[in-house]
């Protein structure tokens, strides 16, 4: 089975919808909103400062491309793009990654409530507050998003 390491977790190819030289876009096991996806460097490293210049440029350009697709696909007008860089910042998987979360008018009463929702994930994938999606659900979403990037991308 081919795939990628995401901290201690294994991400299957079916969960990947975007690939660049140094980064991947993956669907989320426990999204806080429809379309909540992650941008992840291919190299397994815990902190943003651990990435070299080429990886950082690729990571940010990948986030921009993925964000544009998320807005189009989910019909949203804005995005929350956030990196929880280290445990005290709420990072639960020791592999730097960016959350891309589609935003619509009135989705959270107070804009900053989205960060409280992300903080509920402090237990990481072991948190039972939100039910994990099935492999099939994640694969279906990845297939839809993959179409925007071309068949050879993922």
Which residue numbers belong to the known binding site for substrate? 9, 28, 84, 90-93, 99
* Model confidence, pTM: 0.90
C-alpha–C-alpha distance, residues 17 and 14, integer Å: 8
Q: Pick from 24, 31, 22: which is nearest to 6 by CA?
A: 24
Query: Is position 97 annotated as part of the catalytic site?
Result: yes
Query: What is the average pLDDT across 4-16?
Result: 95
Pairing of strands 98-103, 16-19: unpaired
Residue 14 forms part of a structural domain? yes
pLDDT value, residue 151: 56
pLDDT value, residue 122: 52
Name the more confident of 32 and 151.
Answer: 32
What domain range is 125 assigned to?
A: 3-149
Q: Determine contact, residues 108/114, Cβ cutoff 8 Å.
A: yes
| Residue 91's CATH number | 3.30.428.10
User: Is it the case that residue 128 has pLDDT exceeding 80?
Assistant: no
Pairing of strands 98-103, 23-27: unpaired
Rounded alpha-carbon distances, angstroms, from residue 104 to 53, 63, 70, 99: 33, 19, 12, 16
Q: Determine contact, residues 143/2, Cβ cutoff 8 Å.
A: no
User: Is it the case that residue 121 has pLDDT exceeding 80?
Assistant: no
pLDDT value, residue 116: 81
pLDDT tens column, 57-87: 999 999 999 999 999 999 999 999 999 999 9
C-alpha–C-alpha distance, residues 148 and 70, integer Å: 10
Residue 88 forms part of a structural domain? yes
Which residue numbers belong to the known binding site? 9, 28, 84, 90-93, 99
36, 73, 95, 97: the catalytic one is 97
The number of distinct structural domains making up the chain is 1
Residue 154 forms part of a structural domain? no
């Amino acid at each position: 089975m081919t795939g990628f390491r995401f901290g201690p977790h294994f991400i299957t190819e079916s969960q990947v919808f975007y690939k660049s030289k140094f980064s991947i876009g993956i669907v989320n096991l426990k999204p806080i909103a429809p379309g909540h996806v992650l941008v992840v460097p291919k190299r397994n490293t815990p902190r943003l400062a651990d990435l070299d210049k080429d990886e950082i440029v690729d990571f940010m350009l990948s986030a921009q491309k993925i964000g544009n697709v998320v807005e189009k696909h989910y019909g949203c007008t804005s995005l929350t793009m956030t990196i929880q860089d280290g445990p005290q910042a709420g990072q639960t998987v020791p592999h730097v990654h960016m959350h891309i979360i589609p935003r619509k008018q009135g989705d959270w009463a107070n804009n900053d409530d989205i960060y409280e929702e992300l903080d509920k994930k402090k237990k990481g994938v072991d948190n039972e507050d939100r039910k994990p999606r099935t492999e099939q659900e994640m694969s279906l979403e990845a297939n839809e998003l993959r179409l925007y990037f071309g068949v050879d991308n993922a």
